Amino acid sequence: MELNSRAPSGPLEKKWSNHRFSNKLVNPANRRKFSIIVVGTGLAGASASATLAEQGYQVKTFCIQDSPRRAHSIAAQGGINAAKNYQNDGDSIHRLFYDTIKGGDFRAREANVYRLAEVSNQIIDQCVAQGVPFAREYGGTLANRSFGGAQVSRTFYARGQTGQQLLLGAYGALSRQIHSGRVKMYTRREMMDVVVVDGRARGITVRNVMTGEIESHVADVVILATGGYGNVYFLSTNAMASNVTAAWRAHKRGAGFANPSFVQIHPTCIPVHGDYQSKLTLMSESLRNDGRVWVPKTKGDTRKPADIPESDRDYYLENKYPSFGNLVPRDVASRNAKEQCDYGKGVGTTGLAVYLDFADAIKRDGRDTIYKKYGNLFQMYEKITDSDPMVEPMMIYPAVHYTMGGLWVDYDLMTTIPGLFAIGECNFSDHGANRLGASALMQGLADGYFIIATSIAHYLGTHKLEKISEHADPFIDSKRWVDDRISKMLKNSVGGSAGKFTVDEIHKELGRLMWDNCGMARNKAGLEAALEELPKIRKKFWDSVYLPGTNKEINQSLERAGRVADFLEFGEIMIRDALAREESCGCHLREESQTEENEAKRDDVNFSHVSVWEHAGNEKAPVMHKEPLVFEYVTPSQRSYK
């Protein structure tokens, strides 16, 4: 597997414009001759579909839900970063670039991150022009807030629904192209395979989840915008349908998968409360601006929080990190919460939660001020937990939120399969080992609106593509393979459900294994044990999963089974990747790699690289390749929040 990042040379500020100039173009009159498949309609997919269609290409867009507007980008709450420096507080493109690369713990490509910071400003202009109702100052200018511990106010927001509003903007642009006929929209389709012809991605195989029909779609280029794989843990803040299938199938067809073990765990989520729980709900990180995190000083203290006197409380973040206190980055906050709970100091019925207390803030600023700031979040919390944060401290616990790993892409966002591109959370992206708050929306839209079109033009301009029909052998083979796999999954169900397992039971088992051994903190022994355990769960799935119904109808159990089957395979490269990365960096702590103060210790000498996994065939161990990371403009430094 050859890993050529194609990162342009020249000074940092000139790289993107030089690259755009050196990339080939497609004449506007010729664009309609090319067809492009886009899978996924989140921020990245919807914006890419709309942009490419506006430029004149024939676009076919696919989504798994009933409408492109439902993609999980819609659930992003906080905001979107841009280096506008509207607040005159010293922000700049270079600062956003630096913050992003430093936040990512120096595990991202400099050129990519700089480009991201550069186009961030255009994104805001674009969204405003579309009618996204961003929050405004009284004078009518755009409002900003500081987010996720950033030193400048660069986050644009629309109440707590920024993701929704940005997605609806992109969905509007996509809808306009659907109306004009330049985008053909296929809803309720799940991508099952990438079809590679003569070494190039030329189409996809999808399953129509309404009818069970397997369809082939041909194009000149395939773009995946299929999001992250957080649901490998079963419980995460991701939507129920978020999955790894599309990315995983691309991987099995030859696309390298980069840094699969880089998973972000968000510190402020509502804790798990029972075995039946289907998903975790995120509470905005902004709560930590005023809330104080604490646990009882002694193990197993079951008193009510109000009955625990100040002297018996451990404000562990404030004590450990006096200068950042409760505002330490996500990974530090998450890790410490888990640590306290592992000591047995956790609170709540499960012991898997810590308090986030607003009592002092209410005393200081008054009830009204605090309620005005967080009222909607408090209501949401109360709706779910039946407890009022104005009276009782909130309980929070970390949850899987975002995956920095993904399909490896070069500077043009092309995977190692020529003609197959990956954008948004689906690629291994610009966030390195850790993503800053309000940067996911920025990256999705940057890829979709402003980057991918250049790459597509260059690819189409430099390659001669033969006409191909959906009846060609590779398409037929792919269809047959998909059909066989579904039949294989359904075969256990003959003869009833007795003694068999449901999909969710197996998914939960996988989730527990991954959370316990490949979560925030990992160690060699645990990872090796998980690597032993995983094939057993996989076997259990293929031997005894029970799926009611047939393939030729709406069958939601079958849909889930397909996704879990892929998670079961994918989990293995996650564990292997975590095992190979013997350093602590970004979001995860490798327990063997700690400083004397028990903080994460990065190892730049041995691990300043992207690990890229190559599928070597079923039943064979995957092969790891490295893309070295070279830092010309920043000097990697150890993060310190003491």
Residues 196-255 that bind other proteins (CB under 8 A): 210, 237, 239-241
Q: Copy the structure tokens of residue 134.
A: 């961003």
- Which neighbouring-strand residues pair with 93? none
Say whether residue 85 binds other proteins (CB under 8 A).
no
CB of 401 to other proteins, least distance (A): 12
Nearer to other proteins, 188 or 485 (CB): 188
CB of 168 to other proteins, least distance (A): 7
What residues numbered 482-501 form the site for other proteins, per CB under 8 A? 496-498
- CB neighbours of residue 398 within 10 Å: 27
Say whether residue 386 binds other proteins (CB under 8 A).
yes
Say whether residue 17 binds other proteins (CB under 8 A).
no
Q: Which stretch binds other proteins (CB under 8 A): 169-177, 312-320, 524-532, 626-634?
A: 169-177
Say whether residue 47 binds other proteins (CB under 8 A).
yes
- Which neighbouring-strand residues pair with 136? 142
Kindly determine how many residues on this chain lie close enough to bind other proteins according to the rule CB under 8 A.
83
Nearer to other proteins, 194 or 241 (CB): 241
Say whether residue 25 binds other proteins (CB under 8 A).
no
Nearer to other proteins, 74 or 417 (CB): 74
CB of 275 to other proteins, least distance (A): 9
Residue 162 near residue 77, CB atoms below 8 Å: yes
100 vs 432: CA distance, rounded Å: 8
Q: Copy the structure tokens of residue 39.
A: 């899978």
Cα torsion at 279, 285, 290, 294 (round to 10°)?
50
Of 81, 165, 231, 584, which lies in the binding site for other proteins, with binding defined by CB under 8 A?
Answer: 165
What residues numbered 291-350 form the site for other proteins, per CB under 8 A? 349
What residues numbered 559-598 form the site for other proteins, per CB under 8 A? none
Say whether residue 455 binds other proteins (CB under 8 A).
no
Q: Which stretch binds other proteins (CB under 8 A): 163-171, 189-197, 339-347, 575-583?
A: 163-171
Of 66, 360, 477, 532, which lies in the binding site for other proteins, with binding defined by CB under 8 A?
Answer: 66
Q: Which of 182, 330, 522, 538 is catalytic?
A: 330
State phi, psi for 145 to the nearest 5 degrees: -135, 160
Of 68, 227, 256, 586, which lies in the binding site for other proteins, with binding defined by CB under 8 A?
Answer: 68
Q: How many residues does the chain have?
A: 642
Nearer to other proteins, 459 or 546 (CB): 546
- CB neighbours of residue 223 within 10 Å: 33
- CB neighbours of residue 501 within 10 Å: 17
Cα torsion at 142, 147, 152, 154 (round to 10°)?
-30
CB of 579 to other proteins, least distance (A): 32
- CB neighbours of residue 387 within 10 Å: 13
CB of 178 to other proteins, least distance (A): 5
Say whether residue 385 binds other proteins (CB under 8 A).
yes
350 vs 509: CA distance, rounded Å: 18
**Residue that has been written with the tokens 């200068």 in this structure:** 323
DSSP secondary structure letters along 305-369? GGGS-GGGEE-HHHHH-TTTGGG--HHHHHHHHHHHHHTT---SSSS--EEEE-HHHHHHH-HHH
Say whether residue 459 binds other proteins (CB under 8 A).
no
Q: Which stretch binds other proteins (CB under 8 A): 21-29, 129-137, 328-336, 593-601?
A: 129-137
67 vs 321: CA distance, rounded Å: 45
CB of 528 to other proteins, least distance (A): 32
- CB neighbours of residue 11 within 10 Å: 9
Q: Copy the structure tokens of residue 95.
A: 């600062």
367 tagged catalytic: no
CB of 268 to other proteins, least distance (A): 14
Of 5, 58, 112, 126, which lies in the binding site for other proteins, with binding defined by CB under 8 A?
Answer: 126
Of 164, 226, 286, 429, which lies in the binding site for other proteins, with binding defined by CB under 8 A?
Answer: 164
322 vs 316: CA distance, rounded Å: 10
CB of 493 to other proteins, least distance (A): 9
What residues numbered 534-563 form the site for other proteins, per CB under 8 A? 546, 548-549, 553-554, 556-557
Of 175, 243, 259, 415, which lies in the binding site for other proteins, with binding defined by CB under 8 A?
Answer: 175
Say whether residue 279 binds other proteins (CB under 8 A).
yes
Q: Which stretch binds other proteins (CB under 8 A): 47-55, 258-266, 414-422, 466-474?
A: 47-55
- CB neighbours of residue 393 within 10 Å: 21
**Residue that has been written with the tokens 């629309």 in this structure:** 158
Q: Copy the structure tokens of residue 285.
A: 């990180």
540 vs 330: CA distance, rounded Å: 36
Say whether residue 181 binds other proteins (CB under 8 A).
no
DSSP secondary structure letters along 72-98? GGGG--S-EE----TT-SS--HHHHHH
Q: Copy the structure tokens of residue 562.
A: 């397909």
Say whether residue 168 binds other proteins (CB under 8 A).
yes
Residues forming the active site: 330
